[in-house]
C-alpha cells in the first residue's frame, strides 16, 4: 500500500531540496529519519516534517507499522515564484525571484527492506553459485580451446626526413 504526504508552498528553492530528497529515496523510514536528523540543511528539516507526516498517515489512516515502511519516492516540484524588486543604480531595478516548492513523499510497505545481514547472505550465495559455475566452465574451456600465442603486428620505425 502506498501512503502519500505533500508539503506545499515550502519557501525554499526546489534545486536545494532535490539534493536532500535524492539521498533518502529507497531507504527504510528509520534510516531516512536518521539521515535527515544529521543533515545540516533547511531542506532536511522540511523533508523531515513531510516524512513524519507520511508516517503518521500510515499509522492512523492505513493501520501500518512504521518499521516495515520504505521511502518509495521523494519528489520535489516547483511551486509559484514570488517576484520582488531590488533598487539598482541610476533608478533602475532588478528582479528577485523567491522560489517555492512542493515536496511529495510516497511510502510503501511492498518493497522488501534490505539490511546488512541479508546483503551479506545474498553475496555469499552468489559467490558460491559463481564458484560452482566458474569451476565447471574452466574445465570445459581448457579442453576445447588450444593455447595460442598472441601475435602482435610489428611496428615499422618512421624514417627521419626533413622537408625544406
Q: Give residue limits of the domains in the chain.
A: 2-85+95-110
Whose cell is 627521419? That residue is 160
What local confidence, expressed as pLDDT, does residue 141 receive? 55
Q: What is the pLDDT of residue 139?
A: 56
Residue pLDDT, tens place only, 137-151: 655 555 555 555 666
How many Å separate Cα 121 from the centre of its chain? 24
d(CA 146, CA 93): 80
Band of pLDDT at residue 116, cut at 50, 70 and 90: confident
**In the numeric block, which cell numbers belong to residue 123?**
553475496
pLDDT at 111: 76
Contact 4, 57 (CB under 8 A): yes
Report pLDDT digits (tens) over 12-45: 999 999 999 999 999 999 999 999 999 999 999 9
- Asked if 95 contacts 83 with a C-beta cutoff of 8 angstroms, the reply is yes
Q: What is the mean pLDDT of residues 66-76?
A: 93
Name which residue leads in pLDDT, 122 or 74. 74
The highest-level CATH class for domain 2-85+95-110 is: alpha beta
pLDDT at 114 over 80: no
Class of residue 7 by CB neighbours under 10 A (exposed 0-12, middle 13-18, buried 19+) = buried
- Whether the pTM exceeds 0.75: the reply is no
DSSP state of 90: G
Amino acid at each position: 500500500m502506498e501512503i502519500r504526504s505533500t508539503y506545499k508552498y515550502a519557501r525554499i528553492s526546489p534545486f536545494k531540496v532535490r539534493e536532500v530528497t535524492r539521498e533518502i529515496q529507497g531507504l527504510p523510514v528509520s534510516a531516512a529519519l536518521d539521515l535527515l536528523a544529521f543533515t545540516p540543511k533547511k531542506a532536511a528539516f522540511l523533508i523531515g516534517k513531510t516524512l513524519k507526516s507520511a508516517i503518521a498517515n500510515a499509522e492512523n489512516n492505513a493501520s501500518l507499522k512504521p518499521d516495515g515502511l520504505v521511502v518509495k519516492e521523494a519528489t520535489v516540484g516547483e511551486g509559484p515564484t514570488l517576484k520582488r524588486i531590488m533598487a539598482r543604480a541610476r533608478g533602475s531595478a532588478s528582479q528577485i525571484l523567491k522560489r517555492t516548492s512542493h515536496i511529495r513523499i510516497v511510502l510503501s510497505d511492498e518493497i522488501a527492506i534490505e539490511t546488512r545481514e541479508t546483503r551479506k547472505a545474498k553475496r555469499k550465495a552468489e559467490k558460491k553459485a559463481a564458484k560452482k559455475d566458474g569451476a565447471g566452465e574452466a574445465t570445459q574451456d581448457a579442453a576445447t580451446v588450444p593455447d595460442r600465442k598472441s601475435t602482435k603486428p610489428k611496428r615499422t620505425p618512421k624514417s627521419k626526413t626533413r622537408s625544406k
